[in-house]
Amino acid sequence: MRRFLIAGNWKMNCGPYDAAELLEGLKEKKADVDENVDVLVCPPFVSIGMAVNYLHDTDIQVGAQNLHFEENGAYTGEVSGSMIAESGCNYVIIGHSERRQYFGETDTTVNKRSHKALEHKLAPIICVGESLDQRKSDEHFHLVKNQVTAALFDISEDDVLDVVIAYEPIWAIGTGETASPEQAQEMHEHIRKVIAELYSEDTAERINILYGGSMKPANAKELLSQPDVDGGLIGGASLDAASFSEIITIAEELS
């Protein structure tokens, strides 16, 4: 049985001071989480240490927002998988649509980063999804299949069980738009079928697929009630302790 994963992507928000304030609020509301729900926050790199220290006595885990595919070297401004693991993280987001759009992330680099994450026992949260033009052109299923296939290239069936896929309808990020529960389910089911083709139905049934398009308390119940939606990669709502806690509570009630 798949467990819900509620993951907060703080993006470029909350340095150590603001992170401490947000985490204090989160601890007050959700230090203890139902055993059928995993909770994760992904701060910017400068706040990871703060988050690990603040949350060490809670059920909330910490992840990073990116990692480099090289182990070390002359890569100014980059952070390696070993550094992230040593910092106390369990997860790392890879291939977010903003990384693809603004920083040249490609399917090839997503795959390389995913391999490096797994090498360091970090669970990669691999993001896939289409733009509004791609959806209107009826390219979305083909595009997402190609993204999933490329991201998982040469990852073994044993290792892929540690992978999380996050579906981001790019047209629903930061726009106030949200994919309907039916649209989300349709794509999540499609992604699970792609994984089954690459590996097996049993493996596909064991992998978490998160919804990553403007999940908030008002729509979380409908989205999380879909059979192939296993949680959320949450942006704006994760920056408010009350809203993020409410989504966690909804997941607990549905688990």
Catalytic residue numbers read 96, 168
Written as six digits, the tokens of 191 are 């992604």
- Taking the C-alpha atoms of residue 110 and residue 14, their distance in angstroms, rounded to an integer, is 25
SS3 of residue 60 by DSSP: strand
51-60 as b/e: b if 16+ CB within 10 A: beebbeeeeb
Unique residue bearing structure tokens 């999933």: 148
Query: H helices of 31-172, where?
Result: 48-55, 81-86, 97-103, 107-119, 132-136, 140-151, 157-160
CB 174 within 8 A of CB 212: no
- Taking the C-alpha atoms of residue 248 and residue 246, their distance in angstroms, rounded to an integer, is 5
Nearest to 163 by CA among 118, 213, 224, 132: 118
Question: Would you say how long the chain is, in residues?
Answer: 255
SS3 of residue 238 by DSSP: helix
Unique residue bearing structure tokens 């903003």: 98
Close Cβ partners of 143 (under 8 Å, ≥ 6 residues apart): 130, 134
- Taking the C-alpha atoms of residue 18 and residue 161, their distance in angstroms, rounded to an integer, is 34
